[in-house]
Structure 1
Amino acid sequence: MSQDPIVTSNGLAERDRIAIETLYRAFSDHDPDLLDGALAPDWQDIPLAPGQAAGREGMKPLVHAFSAAFPDVRITIHELIGAPGRAAVRAEITGTHQGEWFGVAPTGVRFTIPIHEFHYVRDGRVTHTWHLEDWFGWLHQVGALGTGEKRAGEKAE
């Protein structure tokens, strides 16, 4: 499959597409101020991360924390499918675990996890985001979980 993102707009306004791409670029560029041009002030992030405040301003500390945990992070959009006022994104996060994340001390392990998100957009700003990242897969990749394999005859708990 091509590394270039597949974009199917079907009526998604150009400025709305740019807002979505800018949201991801804020993480890759370690620049939370990019969120000002991408997200509505009352943007809804569903679900919120533990301790995350609501709205655009609530995401900025998360960008900082993400940058500290994964200084070489990249979010790559593989597919953006849009319709007027809404879009679906299939992307992946890659990076190296160099700072604490989810209570896991730095491991120095490189990882790749998929993300799937749905966005509502209006007037060139994202208003709602429903997201799912494979953090369970991340925990496994960085060695924070056991293999989960049981030896023959061992009882499952």
Structure 2
Amino acid sequence: MKMSLPTIPATSAHGLSPARRDAIERFYGALASRDFDMVDDALTHDWEDIPLTPGQAHGPAGIKPIFAMLVSAFPDLTVEIVDALADDDRAAVRMQCAGTHDGDLFGVAATGRSVHFALHEFHAFEGDRIRRTWHMEDLFGLFAQIGAWPAHAPEAA
């Protein structure tokens, strides 16, 4: 199955240099294409992900297992960049993801249900790479669509 890479809509790319736009598209493209090593060209070596997912390691290597978990839980996952706004060394990205829950997600077994959920992320740049990301996913809406909830929160790393 050929995956299309997410791109920032031309109408919302204001304030982003081409190199920073490319970094954002490569970051989300790593998830969409299942080529998780693409993050190495988008993130600084000491990239901070705030907050970390329980058990997540720091830096670019830490996001790769998270992306793999999402793709395992939603093998047909699609990623769409809906909007991006930038000013100075920061960018805000609004995304929409969709897929079928066909694998384990935080201990919740596959349900076969179709889901869609929003992500809102704020990135700070160092040069042309993403140095720090603050993120919020609509996990409440996601698990409500799945119809099941994790038994308990995993231990934080």
Query: Who is 1:154 aligned against?
Result: none
Q: Provide, for residues 23-77 of structure 1, a one-character-per-residue CA deviation record: whole Å limited to 9, x for no partner.
A: 1111111111101111111100000001000111111111211111111111101
Q: Provide, for residues 102-138 of structure 1, a one-character-per-residue CA deviation record: whole Å limited to 9, x for no partner.
A: 2110011110011111001122211000000001101
**Would the aligned equivalents of 1:31 and 1:63 in 2 still touch at CA under 8 Å?**
no
State how far apart, in whole Å, the 2-side matches of 1:33 and 1:144 are.
32
Q: Is it true that 1:65 corresponds to 2:74 in the alignment?
A: no
One-letter code aligned to 1:7: S
**Would the aligned equivalents of 1:100 and 1:106 in 2 still touch at CA under 8 Å?**
yes
1:84 Cα deviation after fit: 2.4
Of 79, 84, 107, the residue aligned with 2:83 is 79
TM-score (norm 1): 0.85
Query: Who is 2:18 aligned against?
Result: 14
**Would the aligned equivalents of 1:111 and 1:138 in 2 still touch at CA under 8 Å?**
yes
Q: Is it true that 1:90 corresponds to 2:126 in the alignment?
A: no
Gaps of 5+ in 2: 1-7, 150-157
Q: Secondary structure at the match of 2:147?
A: coil
**Would the aligned equivalents of 2:83 and 2:95 in 1 still touch at CA under 8 Å?**
yes
State how far apart, in whole Å, the 2-side matches of 1:140 and 1:66 are.
17
**Would the aligned equivalents of 1:68 and 1:99 in 2 still touch at CA under 8 Å?**
yes
Mapping of 1:94-113 within 5 angstroms?
94-113=98-117
Answer with 1 or 2: which has the greater Rg: 1
Gaps of 5+ in 1: 146-157
Query: What fraction of aligned residue pairs are identical, expressed as a percent?
Result: 44
4+ runs of 1 displaced by more than 6 Å? none
Query: Who is 2:130 aligned against?
Result: 126
Task: Count the aligned residue pairs.
Answer: 141
Q: Secondary structure at the match of 2:75?
A: coil
State how far apart, in whole Å, the 1-side matches of 2:125 and 2:22 are.
11
Of 40, 43, 58, the residue aligned with 1:54 is 58
1:9 Cα deviation after fit: 2.0
